[in-house]
Structure 1
Amino acid sequence: MQQDPTSDRVVKRVVVAGGGTAGWVTATALVRHLGPLLDVTLVESDEISTVGVGESTVPTFKGFHDLLRIKEDVFMSAAQATFKLGIEFENWGRIGDRYIHPFGIIGRRASWMAPFHHFWLHARARGFGGDLGEYCLEHMAGEANRIALDAAPNLGYAYHVDATRYARFLRGLAEPAGVRRVEGKIRAVELHPESGFVDAIVLDSGERIEADLFIDCTGFRSLILGEALGVPFEDWGRWITTNSAVAVQSRSVRPPQPYTSAIAHEAGWRWRIPLQHREGNGLVFCNEFMSDDEARAKLLAEIAGEPLVEPWLLRFKTGMRVDSWSRNCIALGLAGGFIEPLESTSIHLMMAGVTRLIEDFPFNGCSPGLVRRFNEKSRLEFECIRDFIILHYHVTERDDSAFWRRARTMEIPDSLQARLALWREDARAYQLDHELFRIESWSSVLLGQRFAPRGYHRLAEMMPEDALRDFLDRTRGEIAGIVATMPTHPEFLARYCPAPPPE
């Protein structure tokens, strides 16, 4: 008779169900941090392809790698990665507009109790001050296609990575450290008849794999948390209506720039991600306003280089499972939720989830309090990112298509409405403790998409105009001087993390 896996059952055996980026990120993190305390098995099938388009990251990626003691130059060479200092947005506020959401600090503190953008807004109201991006090192370096890691302390950057090569790289770290990989497709999930906990997964081969804790990394299907345990999916499609993407890899025909491009079109937007050996391209759209064939043709017409593969189509829903953790199963990656890729948050969400798991690992069992707290933190993070993505679509002056007319007039979550009201009143922006996106992120997008505040913090008026001019001029001058000393992005890559010879 099987033992009843109650909530206080000791957790020693962990099964990661699914490979790809989510599976190997999870397995590598668990074995590197908790290896002596756990037996970690990863189950994946070579017959099941991964989504393979999560190639753009955010700065928390670097911090996660630091925790895993991964050498940056080694990883970048293996994944044929490039640096990412921010995201370029074209055609979002109006057709023809362009701005950058940089990953660095904008300006600097002036020993006054107000963020920098208030002083900049005050200067602009007086007829001087230039562009906001001139006060951000990452913005100016990105525009000049330059980078140097020792140019300034705390440079804000992330990476563009080849997702397939990255998963392979992580596997090369995880297996020697003790992760056992099992090849096979999951045929069934066995639940305990009394508790409803997961007892085992059964593979097509008939092999039965038991564990105390199961990590569901099975992608959109969510085989364990969604299908077997019945945790429902909360659909946010009423706010984020893009639901499809066509993706293709192309030959590089220009030096890689250190930022991702997000170029809006009449029914969504298009991404361009430069790697060392190729470019990643995709066209995100709402299939209510654009057909699959139209999207494919548009993508192929607009990419710069020769396609290296046949374009492939993806369908998705933006939303999350009502609970990320149910009984003895936690879903990470696409199995737990997905927010469309506009701000490159998918890999961050899986890394943040596994970090929370390590911090609150259920060694003594999946207690209700532990599960509840994990789910609360997961939901807060998902919802804050959701609101930031909705912001890009809603704050626009575009009325050239039905897609944009609906986006600009739709009802938005109360949480986002409250933020917009604060900004409109006097340019107030904030970042909560659990939030990914900083004050600079909100101000860059709001100002970049022409959502002008009616005022700003009047504390900025207390700085004499001569002092403000000098403060802004010195800040711009220091940044320009640093950028001038940097090598170009391609030069730095060739020296620091050259890609291995082609396979």
Structure 2
Amino acid sequence: MGQDNRDKKVRRVVIAGGGTAGWMVAAGLSKTLGKLLDIKLIESDEIGTVGVGEATIPTLMNFHHLLDINEQEFMAATQATFKLGISFENWRDLKQDYIHSFGLTGTDHWTAGFQHFWMKGRERGLAGDYGDYCLELKAAQANKFAHLPRNGMNYAYHLDASAYARYLRKFSEGYGVQRIEGKIVEVKQHADGGDIRSIRLDSGTEIEGDLFIDCTGFRGMLIGQTMGVEYDDWSHWLYCDSAVAVQTASTGPAVPLTRSIARESGWQWRIPLQSRVGNGLVFSSRYMDDEQAIACLTANIEGEPLMKPRVIKFKPGQRRQVWKGNCVAIGLASGFLEPIESTSIHLIQRGIIRLMQMFPSDGICQSDVDEYNKQANTEIEHIRDFIILHYHVTNRQDTPFWRDCRSMAIPASLQHRIDLFRETGRVFRVPNELFAENSWIQVMLGQGIMPKRHHQTADLMGDEELAHFLGSISARIEKTVMQLPQHQEYVERFCRAPSQ
């Protein structure tokens, strides 16, 4: 970092790149700090955005609360539907499915999680499926949804990512963000070769700034090409490095689930919006070429294609630093895992909130930079482990891809979690980790790990008491689900898009 910039107040923020990441950054900064900052966003109409991620997780609502975004207005503008979880089909083995839902399952005791009482119930022939004790999961299976009192239903959204960027652009411009059209042709650094001084566009315009946010996608034009931050490649754990995407016309009511269907060398997504369905195949180029992937996806879609299939290449991994000097990378420029658990928008949001918490108004402080990088690194590593779990713990041996996933070496941090759950049924959440205990339990059980023993607290309940405890939870859920409206009907009533 240049000496002359260390104590320089940050007033001019330049966001390089639009899309979901760029406009989420613009919205977050302009709403919270807009009166103190001059915010410019550089975007080229000629450069398309990836726009693959159309499924979100419940944390997006925290971001919307911060921005005071009206849910009905946002959902109508982005053709959104509700999402209660992800249906994993053929992951554990062919024709074996499970749901990773957003809800809590059962009732925990202070000494032990609900899974221990459920395991005891299974042993005694008193319990149903683990999912029978989760409201969101049962509602998703019945294709039902409603907002419940006291936030009684955990949910997220399926949305049109391009429409979301347009929505946030309008929002941000209302708080003073200036959009500048143009292609970036050069990123200029200060004379000492450290911090970024300005960005030159193809029109010849030069835009100076104090803080630069890199939202240029996989290219990482600022953080990588200019600041020289290297990228850690995680493809030895995450084999999928490509995706092919296509949109199709809706053929039936929208369901409140993202479908994730495991295929021979990857998996297919199906994401229902109000007027269309987003489809894609995430695959490994080591086991399948682009033509085979397009053929596989085309053979497994429903409804008329609304566009030609489009192939996207990516490298799973992360930047060694996401903040260096006066450059912060957010979105794909900072790293990317893959869309299996819909974490991409969440990581954008976390990057923004972290930046707002540590915003360098009075000058960039290295200890802030170090803390920001440490938190970002820890967060993505936890998500990485959770994603690897889906591939590694499987009974599938029908193709080379799945056999290799089963036999690969995995991070020690993940191996410990698997061993702990298999031996004891216990799951402990790491501080500030995205996925809570119930997510790990649902996926580990779903992928085929059944713990060898349960906590002794569950043994204190006799059969009658345990049957009543489990039965009262499932009966309460069943009663609630019966009273819920159909998801499609609720969406049409609550947030129907204007074009409908």
TM-score, structure 1 normalization? 0.98
Matched, 1:46 2:45: yes
Q: Structure 2 matches for 1:2-81, cutoff 5 A?
A: 5-81=4-80
Cα deviation, residue 150, structure 1 = 1.9
- The answer for the alignment partner of 2:433 in structure 1 is 435
- Could you report, residue by residue, the CA deviation over 1:201-249 in whole angstroms, capped at 9, with x for unpaired residues? 1101110000100000000000000100100000000000001111000
**For the residues of structure 1 that align with 2:11 and 2:110, how far apart are their CA atoms?**
52
Cα deviation, residue 4, structure 1: 5.7
1:98 is matched with 97
**Distance in 2 between residues matched to 1:209 and 1:244, nearest whole Å:** 34
**One-letter amino acid of the structure 1 residue matched with residue 243 of structure 2:** A
Please point out which of 201, 204, 208 is paired with 1:203.
201
Q: Deviations over 1:108-151 (max 9, x none)?
A: 23x44211111101111112200111100000000000011026
Distance in 2 (CA, whole Å) between partners of 1:153 and 1:320 is 34
Residue identity opposite 2:70 in structure 1: K
- Is residue 18–residue 43 contact of structure 1 (8 Å, CA) maintained in 2? yes
State the distance in 2 between where 1:61 and 1:250 align. Answer: 25
Cross-structure match for 2:280: 282
Q: Tell me, what secondary structure is at the counterpart of 2:5?
A: coil
Task: Single out whichever of 202-211 and 450-459 deviates more from structure 2.
Answer: 450-459
SS of aligned partner of 2:440:
helix
Asked whether the equivalents of residues 267 and 403 of structure 1 are also in contact (C-alpha less than 8 Å), the reply is: yes
Alignment partner of 1:379 is 2:359? no
Q: Which residue of 1 aligns with 2:291?
A: 293
Q: Distance in 2 between matches of 1:484 and 1:270?
A: 31
Judged with a 3 Å threshold, the aligned counterparts in structure 2 of structure 1 residues 283 and 240 are, in CA distance, closer, same or farther, namely same
Give 1:195 deviation, angstroms.
Answer: 5.5
Q: Is the 8 A contact 1:85 1:142 kept in 2?
A: yes
Q: What residue is the counterpart of 1:342 in the other structure?
A: 340
1:160 matches 2:152:
no
SS at match of 2:185: strand
Distance 1:445 1:215 in 2: 35
- SS of the residue aligned with 2:106? coil
Q: Aligned partners of 2:322 and 2:454: how far apart in 1?
A: 39
Cα deviation, 1:394-433, whole Å, max 9, x if unaligned, reads 0001111110111011000011011111111111112122
Matches within 5 A, 1:45-194: 45-109=44-108, 111-150=109-148, 153-194=151-192
Alpha-carbon distance in 1 for matches of 2:193, 2:146: 55
What is the deviation of 1:468?
0.9
Of 397, 400, 407, 2:398 maps to: 400
TM-score, length of structure 2 as denominator length: 0.98
Structure-2 separation of matches of 1:424 and 1:301: 38
Q: Could you tell me which of 403, 409, 412 is aligned with 2:410?
A: 412
SS at match of 1:362: coil
1:329/1:130 Cα in 2 relative to 1: closer, same or farther (>3 Å)? same
Stretch deviating more after TM superposition (164-173 or 147-156):
147-156
Deviations 1:66-109 (A, max 9, x none): 11100111100000000000000000111010000000111123
Deviation at 1:287, TM superposition (A): 1.2
| Secondary structure of residue in 1 paired with 2:497 | coil
In the other structure, the counterpart of 2:236 is 238
Alignment equivalent of 2:358, drawn from 357, 360, 364? 360
Provide, for residues 416-462 of structure 1, a one-character-per-residue CA deviation record: whole Å limited to 9, x for no partner: 01111111111111212211101110000110111111112122111
Could you say what secondary structure the match of 1:201 adopts? Answer: strand
Identity over aligned pairs, percent: 51
Residue ranges of structure 1 left out of the alignment (5+ in a row): none
Q: Deviations over 1:274-295 (max 9, x none)?
A: 0001000000111111111111
Who is 2:469 aligned against? 471
Shift in alpha-carbon separation, 1:108–1:152, aligned structure 2, 3 A: farther
Tell me the number of residue pairs that the alignment of Structure 1 and Structure 2 aligns. Answer: 499
Residues 315-354 of structure 1 correspond to what in structure 2 (within 5 A)? 315-354=313-352
Q: Is the 8 A contact 1:5 1:197 kept in 2?
A: no
Secondary structure of the 2:498 match is coil
Q: Is the 8 Å Cα contact of residues 79 and 165 (structure 1) preserved in structure 2?
A: yes
1:270 is matched with which residue?
Answer: 268
Instruction: State the Cα distance separating 1:298 from its structure 2 match.
Output: 1.0
**CA–CA distance in structure 2, aligned partners of residues 96 and 285 of structure 1:** 20
Give the direction of change, closer, same or farther, for the CA distance of 1:234–1:382 in structure 2 (3 Å limit). Answer: same
For the Cα contact (< 8 Å) 1:318–1:339, is it kept in 2? yes
Amino acid at match of 1:495: R
CA contact 1:5–1:195 (8 Å) conserved in 2: no
Distance across 2 between alignment mates of 1:48 and 1:153: 40
Contact 1:151 1:482 in 2 (8 A): no
Q: Give me the whole-angstrom Cα distance separating, in 2, the residues matched to 1:153 and 1:467.
A: 29
Distance 2:255 2:135 in 1: 15
Unaligned runs of 5+ in 2: none
Question: Which letter maps to 1:491?
Answer: E
2:387 aligned partner = 389
Distance 1:80 1:100, change over 3 A: same
The answer to which of 346-355 and 6-15 deviates more is: 6-15
* Alpha-carbon distance in structure 2 between the residues aligned to 1:385 and 1:338: 11
8 Å CA contact 1:393–1:407 kept in 2: the answer is yes
1:227 is matched with 225
CA contact (8 A) 1:4 1:192 kept: no
| Alignment match, 1:216 | 214
CA distance, structure 2, for counterparts of residue 82 and residue 152 of structure 1: 21
| Structure 2 CA distance for aligned equivalents of residues 458 and 260 of structure 1 | 37
The range that moved more, 252-261 or 151-160, is 151-160
- Please report how far the alpha carbon of residue 356 of structure 1 lies from its aligned counterpart in structure 2 after TM superposition: 0.3
Inter-partner Cα distance in structure 1 for 2:391 and 2:367 = 37
